C-alpha cells in the first residue's frame, strides 16, 4: 500500500511560500474558490484523516493561492455524528497547524432562531454554546487542555469579515451559534430552550473545531450559511436536502466574501 502523506511531505510538495490561512468548507461547498497553482490531495492519501461519509462532502485538502495569499482548504469535514468522535477533526486541524497556518476560517450550515437572520443569509459567529456536553479535548493529557475560550472567535478576523461583506454589499449578521450533536434535527421545544439561552443559530459542527483550533493556538473565525429557520419557527420542512440546496444557492455570496477576505491576509 502507498505510504500516506504527512504535513512535511505536503510542505515539500507545495514549495516554499508559507501557508498562512486555513479554511474549512462545510456542507456542499467544496471547490467554491478559484485557487491558482492548486495542489489537491484526497483525504485518503493523508495520514490520520477520517473519511467523510456525508453526501455533498468532497473530502479533499486543497492548497493554492488566492490574491497572493496561500490558503489550505479542508473541503469536506467529518462531524461527531458520523463516528461518535468529538475530536474527529483533531488531526485535520493539527495537520493545517503543522503546515504553518496561523488563522483558520470555518464555515457551516445552520438553522436560524431569529426572524432577522433569514434563510439564505450569512451570520458571523461571535460566540458559541456547547449544548452537546461533548468536548474534543476530553482525554487530552497536556495542561494545554484547559483552553481559555473567552475570546474563542478572533475580533480582528470578525472585523475583516465585516469589511469584506461591506466591500461586496453583502448583508451579514452576527450571533451566537449553538452546537447540537445531530444527526437528527432539533425539536421545537429544544429550539425554544436554545432561544431562551441566547442562541441565534444552531448547527452540528464548528464548535469542536473552534475548541481544537484554539487548543492548537490558531486564531479562529466562523461563518454560518443560514439554510433554514430552526424547528418550529416556520412551515418549511427541515431536511438535509434543503440544507444542501440552500447552501449551494449561497455559494456565490460566500465565494465573493471569502475572496475579499483572503485578500487581507497577504
Q: Say how far apart CA 220 and CA 206 lie, in whole Å.
A: 10
Point out the residues that are catalytic: 27, 57, 79, 81-82, 109, 204-205, 228, 240
Q: How far is the CB of 111 from ligand HPA (least distance, A)?
A: 2
Q: Say how far apart CA 86 and CA 104 lie, in whole Å.
A: 19
- Residue closest to ligand HPA (Cβ): 111
Closest to ligand HPA by CB, 104 or 204: 204
Give the one residue of 78, 86, 227, 260 binding ligand HPA; rule: CB under 6 A: 227
CA within 13 Å, CB half, 138:
9
Q: How far is the CB of 130 from ligand HPA (least distance, A)?
A: 14
Closest to ligand HPA by CB, 66 or 250: 250
Cell 492548497 maps to which residue? 63
Q: Say how far apart CA 82 and CA 10 lie, in whole Å.
A: 27
Q: Nearest-CA neighbor of 35 among 59, 11, 68?
A: 68
What is the pattern of x (binds ligand HPA, CB under 6 A) and - over residues 172-211? --------x----xx---------------xxx-------
Q: Say how far apart CA 72 and CA 38 lie, in whole Å.
A: 10
Closest to ligand HPA by CB, 186 or 200: 186
Q: How far is the CB of 187 from ligand HPA (least distance, A)?
A: 11
CA torsion, ordered 17, 18, 20, 25, to nearest 10 deg: 80
Cell 469542536 maps to which residue? 208
Closest to ligand HPA by CB, 7 or 228: 228
Q: Say how far apart CA 220 and CA 210 lie, in whole Å.
A: 7
Q: Say how far apart CA 231 and CA 34 lie, in whole Å.
A: 35
Give the one residue of 121, 238, 248, 256 binding ligand HPA; rule: CB under 6 A: 238
| Range in contact with ligand HPA (rule: CB under 6 A) among 29-37, 50-58, 119-127, 222-230 | 222-230
Q: How far is the CB of 244 from ligand HPA (least distance, A)?
A: 10
Closest to ligand HPA by CB, 63 or 230: 230
CA 173 vs CA 43, 97, 106, 177, 261: distances in Å: 33, 29, 16, 12, 16
Residues 85-124 that bind ligand HPA (CB under 6 A): 109-111
- Interaction site with ligand HPA (CB under 6 A): 109-111, 180, 185-186, 202-204, 227-228, 230, 238, 243
Amino acid at each position: 500500500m502507498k505510504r500516506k502523506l504527512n504535513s512535511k511531505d505536503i510542505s515539500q510538495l507545495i514549495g516554499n511560500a508559507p501557508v498562512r490561512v486555513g479554511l474549512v468548507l462545510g456542507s456542499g461547498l467544496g471547490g467554491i474558490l478559484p485557487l491558482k497553482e492548486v495542489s489537491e490531495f484526497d483525504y485518503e492519501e493523508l495520514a490520520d484523516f477520517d473519511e467523510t461519509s456525508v453526501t455533498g462532502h468532497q473530502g479533499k485538502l486543497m492548497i493554492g493561492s488566492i490574491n497572493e495569499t496561500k490558503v489550505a482548504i479542508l473541503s469536506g469535514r467529518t462531524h461527531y455524528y458520523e463516528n461518535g468522535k468529538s475530536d474527529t477533526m483533531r488531526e485535520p486541524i493539527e495537520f493545517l497547524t503543522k503546515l504553518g497556518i496561523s488563522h483558520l476560517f470555518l464555515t457551516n450550515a445552520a438553522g436560524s432562531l431569529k426572524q432577522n437572520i433569514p434563510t439564505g443569509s450569512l451570520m458571523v459567529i461571535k460566540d458559541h454554546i456547547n449544548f452537546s456536553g461533548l468536548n474534543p479535548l476530553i482525554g487530552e493529557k497536556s495542561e494545554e487542555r484547559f483552553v481559555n475560550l473567552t475570546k474563542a472567535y478572533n475580533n480582528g478576523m470578525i472585523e475583516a469579515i465585516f469589511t469584506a461583506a461591506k466591500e461586496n454589499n453583502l448583508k451579514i449578521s452576527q450571533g451566537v451559534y449553538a452546537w447540537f450533536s445531530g444527526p437528527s434535527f432539533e425539536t421545537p421545544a429544544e429550539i425554544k430552550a436554545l432561544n431562551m439561552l441566547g442562541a441565534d443559530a444552531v448547527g452540528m459542527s464548528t464548535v469542536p473545531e473552534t475548541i481544537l483550533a484554539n487548543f492548537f493556538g490558531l486564531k479562529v473565525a466562523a461563518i454560518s450559511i443560514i439554510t433554514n429557520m430552526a424547528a418550529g419557527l416556520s412551515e418549511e420542512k427541515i431536511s438535509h436536502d434543503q440544507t444542501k440546496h440552500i447552501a449551494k444557492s449561497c455559494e456565490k455570496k460566500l465565494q465573493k466574501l471569502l475572496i475579499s477576505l483572503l485578500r487581507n491576509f497577504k
